[in-house]
């Protein structure tokens, strides 16, 4: 009898660890995503797949504790500033479980796949940005909870801006230019 109880407890624990909650991975008109290109900030636009978005989660919301869930979205190609990944199941985020979450976005020039290194150092050669952090519970489960809406309501209150991350060579040239200006100014 003890073995049977132990097996049942372990299978419940294992099943719970792989539970999948539901998230409606889209943004609304109050949380549009914009891009800062050359100082001009405007809602993202272009063909579908011009921008990608990923969902990050954390159990405590502390900096450096977020991990990529494997959930992707892309710009709609129709409505400026909008993206959609649809209603998706998120591995490791059980129905009714509360986690901190954030959304990251990047331009297609950086590739279609999220790179975990971007969590510690922003990529160069494209546009990249992160949303504010929010806390919420995934939907689904036996109580048929509605899918979590990441934006609006009690979620992320606003959209965010993707900005250009200068390449290291551009930064070096800017530094050399500034040094040259200082040298020439001292000579006069």
Structure confidence at residue 6 (pLDDT): 42
3-class SS of residue 109: helix
Q: How confident is the model over 34-39, as a mean pLDDT?
A: 91
Residue 152: pLDDT band (50, 70, 90) is: confident
With 60 as the cut, is the pLDDT of residue 136 above it?
Answer: yes
Q: What is the mean pLDDT of residues 69-79?
A: 92
Please report, to the nearest 10 degrees, the dihedral formed by the alpha carbons of residues 170, 176, 178, 183 taken in order: -170
> Does pTM top 0.75 for this prediction?
yes
């Amino acid at each position: 009898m003890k073995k049977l109880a132990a097996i049942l407890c372990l299978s419940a624990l294992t099943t719970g660890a792989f539970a999948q909650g539901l998230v409606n991975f889209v943004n609304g008109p109050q949380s549009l995503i914009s891009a800062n290109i050359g100082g001009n900030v405007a809602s993202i636009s272009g063909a579908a797949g011009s921008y990608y978005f990923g969902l990050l989660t954390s159990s405590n919301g502390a900096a450096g504790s977020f991990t990529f869930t494997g959930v992707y979205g892309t710009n709609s190609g129709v409505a400026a500033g909008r993206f959609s990944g649809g209603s998706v199941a998120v591995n490791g985020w059980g129905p009714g479980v509360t986690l901190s979450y954030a959304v990251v976005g990047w331009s297609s020039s950086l590739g279609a796949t999220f790179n975990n290194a971007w969590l510690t150092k922003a990529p160069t050669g494209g546009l990249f940005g992160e949303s504010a952090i929010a806390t919420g519970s995934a939907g689904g489960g036996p109580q048929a909870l509605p899918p979590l809406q990441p934006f609006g309501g009690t979620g992320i209150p606003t959209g965010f801006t993707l900005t250009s991350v200068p390449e290291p060579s551009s930064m070096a040239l800017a530094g050399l230019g500034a040094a040259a200006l200082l040298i020439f100014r001292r000579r006069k």
